[in-house]
């Protein structure tokens, strides 16, 4: 999850090499799946991550949904939620982040859930999550700390009239 989100934050406009790398990763993973015998989860996770690198969130979401058919995993569910959030599908993003957070109380999942709750207009839920995250902020990655700062700023801003 962290790798997907930080890559997506850094590469708003992927270059040709990033696209080529993603396509090669998808092709390589497909070959490995058929010849070496990757598990379906490994196959779909690798492809989901590759599509996220080039902001192809519809393709990535498709692979994360496939992953979840084989195995319920909070990180995979949070990755699916991340894709939905980037597609502007906030209701689906909130739903999947909530499911992921219910299974895994990871502060990174809570942070991105708080961000989407805020985007969706649920300030009370976002504040509650931020209270849970605050004592665990030392567990967040560098990329997540900037998201934390953004959410804190948005929550402290006066409500629009």
DSSP string, 31-77: HHHHHT---HHHHHHHHHHHHHHTT-HHHHHHHHHHHHHH---HHHH
Q: For every residue of 105-142, which 3-state class applies, written as one string?
A: CCHHHHHHHHHHHHHHCCHHHHHHHHHHHHHHHHHCCH
Q: Determine contact, residues 148/133, Cβ cutoff 8 Å.
A: yes
What does the pLDDT average to over 109-132? 95
Whole-number pLDDT of residue 148? 94
Question: Which carries the bigger pLDDT value, residue 133 or residue 19?
Answer: 133
CB-based contact 79:1 (threshold 8 Å): yes
* Residues 70-105 pLDDT 10s: 999 999 999 999 999 999 999 999 999 999 999 999
**What is the predicted pLDDT for the residue at 36?**
76
Q: Which residues contact 98 (CB under 8 A, 6 or more apart)?
A: 113
Give the pLDDT mean for 31-56. Answer: 86
Q: At what angle do helices 74-86 and 40-53 cross, to 10 degrees?
A: 30
Q: What rounded mean pLDDT belongs to the chain?
A: 87
């Amino acid at each position: 999850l962290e790798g997907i989100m930080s890559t997506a934050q850094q590469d708003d406009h992927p270059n040709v090499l990033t696209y080529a790398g993603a396509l090669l990763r998808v092709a390589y993973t497909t070959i490995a799946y058929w010849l070496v015998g990757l598990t379906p989860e490994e196959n779909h996770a690798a492809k989901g991550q590759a599509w996220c690198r080039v902001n192809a969130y519809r393709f990535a979401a498709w692979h994360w949904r496939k992953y979840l058919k084989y195995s319920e995993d909070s990180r995979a569910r949070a990755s699916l939620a991340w894709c939905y959030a980037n597609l502007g599908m906030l209701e689906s993003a909130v739903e999947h982040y909530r499911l992921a957070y219910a299974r895994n109380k990871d502060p990174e999942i809570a942070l991105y859930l708080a961000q989407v709750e805020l985007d969706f207009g649920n300030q009370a839920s976002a504040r509650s999550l931020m209270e849970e995250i605050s004592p665990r902020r030392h567990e967040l990655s560098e990329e997540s700390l900037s998201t934390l700062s953004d959410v804190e700023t948005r929550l402290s801003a006066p409500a629009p009239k």
